[in-house]
Amino acid sequence: GQSKVLANTRPNGQEDQPQFSVDIDQEKASALGVSLADINNTLSTAWGSDYVNDFIDRGRVKPVYLQSDPNFRMQPEDLDKWQVRNASGAMVPFSAFASSHWTFGSPRLERYNGSAAVEIQGAAAAGVSSGAAMDEIDKLVAQLPAGYSHEWTGLSHQEKLSGNQALSLYAISALVVFLCLAALYESWSIPFAVMLSVPIGIFGALLAASLFGQSNDVYFKVGLLTTIGLAAKNAILIVEFAIERQTAGMGLVEATLEAARQRLRPILMTSLAFILGVLPLAIASGAGSGAQNSVGIGVMGGMIAATVIGVFLVPLLFVTVRRIFKGRAAKPDAGETPVTANQQ
């Protein structure tokens, strides 16, 4: 039956039309001394035309074409009236080595990368993403007999390439943020506390996209990259102030709680300003609204989750990571004998 995922699927071209096919028996033609080149030239000249030269008629240049008289190329049976000169100079009728029949086929021969091909166009059904529609086509093509294959072209080809690069792009983005934080704080432990808050924002973006029926298109991926940076920004505000308080002599837990209280207002103000800033994108309508909704809804969901959940989870993650790395740093190596000094 017809797939409910696809819509307006059709071949790009004209419908099959009646065609007159001429079958050449190459073994008989070779035995009669007739070459395929001579057969093709005769058919092309008689039933089509062949350019000869130009001549000047009353000051105007006119081309000269060689073609058979219409009376000898009106019916399929007229093909038997034609003869081809063989290698010895004798005339051989077409009926001696050729047969003909009517068939149906495409009026245009299409090729892709040197292979016979047909271009199929279509669109995703209402409420279905382009990625889901392309996956459906992959499944349908897999059901074809052996020897058939398919390639994506145009925007679909670009979407496939971008989809395959999405995971590596996210990984590189997270790595760049981590390295920048490591260089900023001159520590490998503190960036872990910040980066562990990033999945909160990603979860919020995915949840918002799912609730509002948004697809995982390239615009949503751009918003997801933005969410990574914004979620890290909220965590940095708390972590940086906690480090300053801890350096001033406060305990780890007391410094973290103080940072969460002091940085709550800046986090809420910046987050609320950004959420209100992308609100027009989330509620946009009209031409181009699909792309704007994908960016706006994704970023809004990620920012809300990173703010509401992050202000409680980031302090916990910071304390946990600091204790884990501090404990490893203070633990002596196995087999090392502690050195004691006796003071007189």
Q: Give residue-wise pLDDT tens across range 150-206.
A: 888 877 877 777 666 767 877 887 888 788 888 887 888 788 888 888 888 889 998
pLDDT at 1: 54
Q: How confident is the model at residue 287 (pLDDT cuts 50, 70, 90)?
A: confident
21-86 maps to which CATH number?
Answer: 3.30.2090.10
The CA distance from 260 to 315, in Å, is 7
Q: How confident is the model at residue 91 (pLDDT cuts 50, 70, 90)?
A: very high
Examine the pLDDT at 40 and tell me if it is beyond 50: yes
Per the prediction, the chain carries an average pLDDT of 82
The amino acid that residue 319 corresponds to is V
Nearest partner of 83 among 93, 97, 73, judged by Cα: 93
Residue keyed to tokens 């994108």? 281
Give the tokens for residue 117: 């091909």
Q: Where in the chain is the domain with CATH 3.30.2090.10?
A: 21-86
The CA distance from 343 to 3, in Å, is 87
pLDDT at 331: 47
Q: Where in the chain is the domain with CATH 1.20.1640.10?
A: 161-328
Determine phi and psi for 68, rounding to 5 degrees: -75, 160
Mean pLDDT along residues 228-247: 85
Distances (CA, A) of 200 to 224, 243, 295, 304, 305: 12, 22, 17, 10, 6
161-328 maps to which CATH number?
Answer: 1.20.1640.10
